[in-house]
Amino acid sequence: MKPDGFGDSEWQRISLGQALRSQRARRRWQQVLGVALLLAGYVCLAVPADTPGDWLLLRVAGGFLLLFAGFAVAIGPLVSAILGTDHE
């Protein structure tokens, strides 16, 4: 809803600016989440030598799942934007 005192073009410019800021903030948080998932995956893969075999398998599988999820969340949209396949 347009407040009084604003022309149509001013209101569209303000709305577009707010939408772009919101989109940038969402992408920034998405990248932060993706990097956090990547770091968590690397932490899971840092297994000490005396880890029992069952826990070793779980930590390695979980670490690779976290790495994959982090890549998909943080780096995947960046790659698709670079390649021009960004449909957002």
Q: Mind listing the pLDDT tens digit for each residue in 14-61?
A: 777 777 788 778 888 888 899 999 999 999 999 888 888 888 889 999
Q: Are 66 and 35 in contact (CB under 8 A)?
A: no
The neighbour count for residue 61, using CB atoms within 10 Å, is 11
pLDDT score, position 62: 93
Pairwise pLDDT comparison (67 vs 82), residue with the higher score? 67
DSSP annotation of 3 reads P
